[in-house]
């Protein structure tokens, strides 16, 4: 059972976690540290970066979650930057003005991959053309599927190359900083912070 299903499963009891911890305690301290599953690693790092994600098992739950985001932020009848025609069609019934407006309230897009080891979103010119992250709206809604989870950026780049039949999209970048109100330190200086929601659809 994936981490996402465990989180939503009321039958997943705390005793299960205790049993696993007890089993782990039996291992010698000389054993190598157990590698976290990709979904668990991504969830931890993505939330630690300040991202907000909603796990959905079907498209009906996706549209409900999207509706809740619109209500929460009062984003109905707003301009939306979205170059993905399929997403524009999917969310056509929400009184939104889709286009490439520079004054868009939020950016709606798919992505290349979800990178577990740093909790980032991998994008390319397929999603943002030649725009820099700082040129995108502050608010971002990303639609992705669980099959897009990868462990490292290198793995995500390899998938892009394999799917592109030799053509490598330009402008490959990642969004990793999602805490818009945090005080910047020297490690995050110069990064483009986004208020990001992730709609994650189970497809495995």
Which pLDDT score, from 0 to 100, does residue 152 have?
97
Give the pLDDT band (50/70/90) at residue 183. Answer: low
* Structure tokens given for 170: 């330009």
Whole-angstrom distance, CA of residue 54 vs CA of residue 58:
12
On average, the pLDDT of the chain sits at 83
Whole-angstrom distance, CA of residue 153 vs CA of residue 114:
9
Which pLDDT score, from 0 to 100, does residue 169 have?
86
Pick the closest to residue 82 from 126, 121, 114, 113 (CA basis).
126
Residue located via tokens 């929601």:
197
For residues 73 and 52, is the Cβ–Cβ distance under 8 A? no
The per-residue pLDDT for range 70-87, each reduced to its tens digit, is: 999 999 999 999 999 999
Global pTM value: 0.81
Helix/strand/coil for 74: coil
Fold of 34-179+189-201: Rossmann fold (3.40.50)
Whole-angstrom distance, CA of residue 110 vs CA of residue 89:
13
Query: How far, rounded to the nearest angstrom, does the alpha carbon of residue 138 sit from its chain's CA centroid?
Result: 15
The per-residue pLDDT for range 15-56, each reduced to its tens digit, is: 444 444 444 444 444 544 567 899 999 999 999 999 999 999
Whole-angstrom distance, CA of residue 103 vs CA of residue 79:
7
Give the pLDDT band (50/70/90) at residue 59. Answer: very high
């Amino acid at each position: 059972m994936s981490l996402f299903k465990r989180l939503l499963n009321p039958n997943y009891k705390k005793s299960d976690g205790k049993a696993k911890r007890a089993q782990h305690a039996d291992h010698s301290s000389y054993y190598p540290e157990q590698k976290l599953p990709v979904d668990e690693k991504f969830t931890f790092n993505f939330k630690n970066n300040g991202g907000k994600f909603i796990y959905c098992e079907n498209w009906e739950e996706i549209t409900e979650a999207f509706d809740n985001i619109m209500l929460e932020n009062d984003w109905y009848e707003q301009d939306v930057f979205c170059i993905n025609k399929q997403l524009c069609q999917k969310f056509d019934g929400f009184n939104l003005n889709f286009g490439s407006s520079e004054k868009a309230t939020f950016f709606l897009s798919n992505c290349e991959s979800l990178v577990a080891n740093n909790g980032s979103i991998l994008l390319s010119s397929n999603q943002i053309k030649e725009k820099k992250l700082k040129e995108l709206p502050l608010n971002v809604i990303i639609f992705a599927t669980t099959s897009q989870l990868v462990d490292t950026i290198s793995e995500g780049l390899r998938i892009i190359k394999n799917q592109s039949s030799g053509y490598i999209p330009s402008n490959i970048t990642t969004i990793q900083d999602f805490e818009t109100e945090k005080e910047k330190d020297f490690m995050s200086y110069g990064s483009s912070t986004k208020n990001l929601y992730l709609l994650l659809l189970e497809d495995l």
